[in-house]
Structures are given as structure tokens and as C-alpha cells.
Amino acid sequence: MKIQEADAKQLLRAQGLPVPPGTVARSVSEADAAADMYLKDGADAVVVKAQVLVGGRGKAGGVKLARTREEADAAASAILGMSIKGITVRKILVGPAADIVKEFYLGAILDRASHRIVVMASAEGGVEIEEVAKRDPSLILRESAHPLLGLADWQARKLAFGLGLAGPRVKAFTAIAHGLVRTMLADDADLVEVNPLAIVRERDAEGNVVERLLCLDAKIVLDDSALPRHPDLEALRDLDEEDPTDVEARKHDLSFIRLDGTIGCMVNGAGLAMTTMDLVKRAGGEPANFLDIGGGARADKVASAMKLILDDSKVQAILVNIFGGITRGDEVAKGLIEARAQQSRDVPMVVRIVGTNAEEAQRLLREARFETAATLDEAAEKAVAAAKAVGGAA
Ligand code: GDP
Ligand code: MN
């Protein structure tokens, strides 16, 4: 799960990282009030930033600097409601603008290949790191954290020296690198990225110009599977930006992934769902989705799953494959009958149910005139044939 920059910065702040202050505004007047506050507080300018879960906001015009309240008003008006990569901006972050001397990239990712947290740094900051990786991968420095000992100080220093940092800035940098790793662990994140990490010029209390490192942007991707351990992080989910299908699937505790084909699949168990998709392909069809209704699914859950499948207009046939264990075949059959009574359109369906209460399921399905199949191969072939018949007639 991706979280918004303002929330990601809050998580970095909680780990003691240097992050500029900011206020989230949902309207121009809220933005004006925030800008006013920072300008009165002594900021030379404010930065107004679109809060959307995509990168490249700067390039798209979603990051603007403003020196006065009027300019801030204009920036907020321009950004709120703007579309960035197809997403409408509903919130903006307003904060004191930083005076940037140099921008770096710093990120920590969970590297599944090495099973370690890898910290990446580059002197090519501010631009999208994927572009740097494509142009010249040697510009990205990497150090992997030991699973028990973490990122060693010498590794963090090596990155700092690699970026050309020297003097007291090395220590500031290593503290931030360690903070990123801490954030990864504390919040069960898959990615914590600060781009840019910037050297900024500021005035201290006596009015002297000082430079320091500051996290000007933050991107965090949390591990979905770990969210049950973090109810406070789950609350950061931004429903404004989620695919309504995903929201619906999560509400009913279904694992659902939409694909491009025409055969809707309803299966219990992730492994069985994969196998079912394979067999659909072998029978010459293309699955329209991956759907695991989970163990012990009852009738209402089956009906919700059916609705998700049918909401996809590409679906021309449905294959139901249930291996009853904890899940009872008769419950699934009841769910299918209930779902068909309510469903928005009529699509050929082939059902294969084996295992717990399969006989009762067969009886119910026969009575309701469902097409059934004894084996998975047969079910896949029938579903593909039915979809082709529909497709051909259309
Ligand atoms: P992204 O484009 O979505 O990654 O958004 P960023 O927050 O990284 O902002 C993009 C760029 O805007 C940064 O690389 C900076 O060059 C610039 N920027 C962001 N915040 C500030 C700021 O406070 N002051 C100045 N001068 N530039 C900023
Ligand atoms: Mn950025």
C-alpha cells in the first residue's frame, strides 16, 4: 500500500529524520491560511505540492513555489483539481520552501532476491531513479543491511563518501540512512524513498547562513500483508485513489486481481486459483481474473465475488472451481444460486465442486439447472467453449 507524501513524512519524523513542516489542505482557503502562517513565521516562500500516489508531480506541474499569499492562492487553485497521470488532485501539502543547494537520491528497499534491505543512494537526485538506472546504473550506489546487524556505520559512510559528502555532513547523512532502515523495520515497509534528500541553505537563530540535509520528498510503500499488525498505518489508506474494485474486494476479504481475458474464475485457495488459470490457458482461453475466495467462504461471500467478476464487461463465461475442505460445497452452491438470482447479466457458468458436501452441492446445482463438470479439465474446456460461443455470436 502506498501512502501520501505528508503521511510518509510523518513516519520519517517519528524516526527522528529531518523533515520540513507542512500542512495538508483540501481547499484553496485552507491552503491560503497555511501559506499565510508559514510566510508570517518567516519563510521566504512556500511550496505547494499535489498529494497523489504517483511520482513525477514536479514535472507534471504539481509542485509550485510561491513567495506571497496571492501566489500561494494561485498555485493552490492551479494544483487542486488538476489531473496527474489520470489522478485528480484532491489534497495539497503546503510548507515552507527550502532553498536547495544540491539534491540527492536516498532509498531503502526490500530486495527479495537477496532477502535483505538494500540502501541505495545517488548524487543524481530529484529525477526519477528509474531513469538514472536506465541511463547509467553505476550512478546508483548500493549497500545491503545485514539481517541481524542492520546497516553498519561503515556502509552508511561509504555511501556518504560515494555521494561526495564530507565533514559533519557525513554524520548527518549516516543518521538519515540508518533512519530509513529503521522506518523499513518499524513500519514493515517494502520501500522508503527520499528523493530529493537535499542540502538546503537556512538561517539560524542569529541570522547566520547554515546548510543542512533535509528530506524534501518521501515515498513509502507498506507491506500489505503486515498491515494487520499496524492498525494506525492501515488508517492511512487513501480510498480516494484506490480502484473501486480493490476496495470492494478488500471489504469482502477476497483476493481479486483483474486480468485481460474473458473467463471469470472463482476458486478457493491461491494455489488452486493459479492452477485453474493455467488450465483455462491450456484449454485455449484467457482468464479474466485471479480470484481466491479463501477458506470457509459462505454464501454471501460467493455472491460478492460473483458480482466482482460480472462487473467486468469482458467476462463471457465463468468457471467456478471449489475444493471443499473447510469451505463447504453446499454453501458455495447456495451462494451461486443466490448470486445468479440477483446478477446483472446472464453469462454461461460451469461449476466444479468436490470435497466437503459435494453431493449436496451437486443436487442443489442440478435443481437450479447449473452446468457442472466432474474434473477441472472438463470444466476449463466447457468454460472456454462457452466463452467462444458467446464471443462468436457477438
Ligand atoms: P516529485 O516530482 O513527485 O518527486 O515531487 P518532489 O517533492 O520530489 O518535487 C519535485 C522537485 O521540486 C524537487 O526535485 C525539487 O527540485 C523541487 N522542490 C520540491 N520541494 C522544494 C522546495 O521546498 N524548494 C525548492 N526550491 N524546490 C523544491
Ligand atoms: Mn520526488
User: Which are the catalytic amino acids?
Assistant: 105, 193
CA-proximal residue: ligand 1, atom 16 (nearest): 126
Same domain, 115 and 132: yes
The one-digit pLDDT tens for each residue of the chain (394 residues) are 999 999 999 999 999 999 999 999 999 999 999 999 999 999 999 999 999 999 999 999 999 999 999 999 999 999 999 999 989 999 999 999 999 999 999 999 999 999 999 999 999 998 889 999 999 999 999 999 999 999 999 999 999 999 999 999 999 999 999 999 999 999 999 999 999 999 999 999 899 999 999 999 999 999 999 999 999 999 999 988 888 888 899 899 999 999 999 999 999 999 999 999 999 999 999 999 999 998 777 888 898 999 999 999 999 999 999 998 888 999 999 999 988 888 878 899 999 999 999 999 999 999 999 999 999 999 999 999 999 998 754 4
Helix (H, G, I), strand (E, B) or coil at 394: coil
Q: What's the number of domains the chain is made of? A: 3
108 and 227 together in one domain: yes
Q: Looking at the CA of 94, which ligand is closest? A: 1
- pTM for this prediction: 0.81
Residue ending a domain, among 49, 78, 97, is 97
> For position 392, what pLDDT does the model report?
59
Q: Same domain, yes or no, for 164 and 15? A: yes
Q: Whose CA is nearest to atom 3 of ligand 1?
A: 57
Residue 104 and residue 40 share a domain: no
Distance 222 CA to ligand 1 centre (A): 23
3-state secondary structure (DSSP) of residue 131: helix
CA Rg, the chain, in Å?
Answer: 27
Cα separation, 339 vs 365, in Å, equals 13
* One domain, residues 171 and 262: no
| Residue 313 domain boundaries | 244-393
Phi, psi at 127, each rounded to 5°: -90, 165
Total H helices, total E strands in the chain = 13, 19
Predicted local confidence at residue 298, as pLDDT? 81
SS3 track for 175-238: HHHHHHHHHHHHHCEEEEEEEEEEEEEEECCCCCEEEEEEECCCEEEECHHHHHHCHHHHCCCC
Relative to the CA of 5, which ligand 1 atom is closest? 7
Q: How does DSSP classify residue 146? A: B
Cell of 371: 452446468
Q: Say yes or no: 346 and 314 in one domain.
A: yes
Q: Are residues 216 and 198 in the same domain?
A: yes
**Which residue from 99, 38, 101 is spatially nearest to 72, judged by alpha carbons?**
38
What CATH number has the domain bearing residue 85?
3.30.1490.20
Residues 132, 5 within the same domain: yes
Phi then psi for residue 262, to 5 deg, are -115, -5
Q: Which ligand is nearest to the CA of 194?
A: 2
Question: Residue 85: left (phi > 0), alpha (psi -120 to 50), or beta?
Answer: left
Q: What is the C-alpha separation between 69 and 56, in angstroms, rounded?
A: 25
Q: Is 214 in the pocket of ligand 1 (CB under 6 A)?
A: no
Q: How far is CA 306 from CA 260, 274, 292, 319, 373, in A?
A: 17, 18, 12, 11, 19
Minimal CA–CA distance to 91: which of 35, 37, 52? Answer: 52
Q: To test ligand 1's pocket by mutation, which of 12, 217, 219, 220 has the most ligand atoms within 8 angstroms of CB?
A: 217
Ligand 1: which residue has its CA nearest to atom 10? 58
Q: Which residues, by Cβ under 5 Å, contact ligand 2, an ion?
A: 195, 217
Are the C-beta atoms of 35 and 96 separated by less than 8 Å?
no
Please name the residues in contact with 95: beta carbons below 8 A apart, sequence gap of 6 or more.
20, 21, 22, 23, 34, 38, 46, 47, 49
Asked if 25 and 162 sit in the same domain, the reply is no
Does 57 contact ligand 1 (Cβ within 6 A)?
yes
Round to whole Å and give the CA distance between 87 and 95.
22
Q: For cell 504517483, name the residue.
A: 54
**What's the pLDDT score for residue 127?**
83
Measured from the Cα of 217, ligand 1's closest atom is 7
Ligand 2 centroid to residue 56 C-alpha, Å: 7
Is 21 touching ligand 1 by the criterion CB < 6 Å? no
For residue 108, give the CATH number of its domain.
3.30.470.20
How far CA 323 is from CA of 227, 271, 354, in Å, comes to 29, 11, 5
Examine the fold and report which residue of 97, 130, 146 is the final residue of a domain before the chain moves on. 97
297 with 320: CB under 8 angstroms? no
Task: Indicate which CATH number applies to the domain containing 299.
Answer: 3.40.50.261
Question: 20 C-alpha vs ligand 1 centroid, how far in Å?
Answer: 12
Tell me how far apart the alpha carbons of residues 176 and 174 are, in angstroms, rounded to a whole number: 5
pLDDT given at position 394: 45
- Supply the residue whose CA is at minimum distance from atom 25 of ligand 1: 98
| Site to substitute for ligand 1 among 48, 63, 99, most atoms within 8 A of C-beta | 63
> How far is the centre of ligand 1, averaged over its atoms, from the C-alpha of 35 (Å)?
17
Give yes or no for a contact between 230 and 236, defined as CB atoms under 8 angstroms apart: no
d(C-alpha 81, C-alpha 83), whole Å: 6
Same-domain status, 15 and 156 = yes
Query: Ligand 1 centre and the CA of 104: distance in Å?
Result: 11
Q: Do 164 and 102 contact (CB within 8 A), yes or no?
A: no
Domain-ending residue, one of 65, 97, 129? 97
Distance CA 290, CA 239 (A): 22
**Contact 193 CB / ligand 1 (< 6 Å):** no
Q: Which atom of ligand 1 is nearest to the CA of 57?
A: 3
Measured in Å, residue 126 CA sits from the centre of ligand 2 at 6
Are 58 and 171 part of one and the same domain?
Answer: no
Same domain, 256 and 325: yes
Does the beta carbon of 97 sit less than 6 angstroms from any atom of ligand 1?
yes
